[in-house]
Amino acid sequence: MKMGIEDTNSSFTSPTEFLLLEFSNIRTVQILHFFGFLALYLIAVIANLLIIMAVSFDYHLHTPMYFFLMNLAVLDIGTVSVWVPKAMVNSLMQSRTISYSGCVAQVFLLVVFIGSDFALLTVMAHDRYVAICNPLQYETIMHKGACIQMLASSWLSGILNSSLNTGSTFAITFCSNVVNQFFCEIPQLFKLSCSGPCFVQIGAIVLTCGIVLGCFIFIILTYVKIFATVLKIPSVQGQKKALSTCIPHLTVVFLLVFSGIFAYGSSATDTSSDLGIVFAFFYAILPPLLNPFIYTMRNKEIKTALLKLFTMVHFSKIISCQVVL
């Protein structure tokens, strides 16, 4: 196997490829990993596609909240599609390699999707605040143009943040090409640097942490105001209806934030590889996998739209069979 880096001395050049963490040396276990990731990938993609289709086909869901939810599903599909297919191929082909350009693309796209995801969750918190605390001004504030601008801002923030982090990561000189993770992850790539972190790298990390912390504080303060308003609603039924759109959103936010903290915290320390894999799994596949179910469980409108979708598909199959006969 041709390697971009042959040893760990000072004569290293830039790697042409990286070696990712191997799942197992046992062929049977590798096959099990392949089918396990395939199952998780299909569940995540299909579940998020159902959310997208339900919102698209049901005009009752053509509101800002569901517009943002549909785009969140798009981002979740992107997140799992960045690294899971490559992990499946490596398991099936008994390979550990990823090209240098492939690693760059993986880092860039993963940060774009996760960064945009969190920015969109922040926008969704603002949407819930306006809907519950200023319902009479909701249509005026959350009009179509404003929603598109908010969505574009979420994507733009993710792209800019990813460009800065990816550029600073691959500007370093690598002394090894062995990545102690099953996908290209920034903290693990930093560990391969021949020297300590430079000013640009530290600046990118501080900026990212500042943005995440700022968004998280904004979400928490927004929900403090929302819950204060909900408690003033005289009807218990009204309180439950308001909370039914808030609890899933808060659950998704905490899932993404704390899984990311654990994953990057373990990568930045000398945590064992096995624990690092578990934490990386949490933030890289668990949120996209669980988000559709979290939003569906307490949302009657989504359930109704999905039921209509399944009914429509069922009748279309019956009609097709009758035409064929």
CATH class belonging to 17-324: mainly alpha
Q: At what angle do helices 236-268 and 199-231 cross, to 10 degrees?
A: 160
Alpha helix positions (H), 94-198: 100-133, 138-141, 144-169, 186-190
CA 103/CA 192 separation, integer angstroms: 14
The beta-strand segments (E) located in the chain are: 17-19, 97-99
Q: Residue 41's pLDDT is what?
A: 94
pLDDT in tens, the chain (325 residues): 334 444 444 445 568 889 998 777 888 888 998 998 999 999 999 999 999 998 998 888 899 999 999 999 999 999 999 999 998 998 888 888 999 999 999 999 999 999 999 999 999 999 999 999 998 999 999 999 999 999 999 999 999 999 999 998 888 888 889 988 889 988 888 888 887 666 667 777 788 888 888 999 999 999 999 999 988 888 888 788 778 878 888 888 888 888 777 766 666 555 555 666 677 777 788 889 888 888 887 778 888 888 887 787 666 666 666 555 5
CA 235/CA 241 separation, integer angstroms: 10
Alpha carbon of residue 168 to chain centroid: 22
Question: What's the whole-model pTM score?
Answer: 0.86
Grouping H, G, I as helix, E, B as strand and the rest as coil, residue 39 is: helix
CA 30/CA 41 separation, integer angstroms: 16
Q: Residue 290's pLDDT is what?
A: 87
Q: Residue 205's pLDDT is what?
A: 78
Coarse DSSP helix, strand, coil percentages of the chain, rounded to the nearest 5 percent: 75, 5, 20
Q: Burial of 184 by CB count in 10 Å (0-12 exposed, 13-18 middle, 19+ buried)? A: buried
Q: Residue 2's pLDDT is what?
A: 39
Residues in the chain: 325
Structure-token pair, residue 100:
């240098």
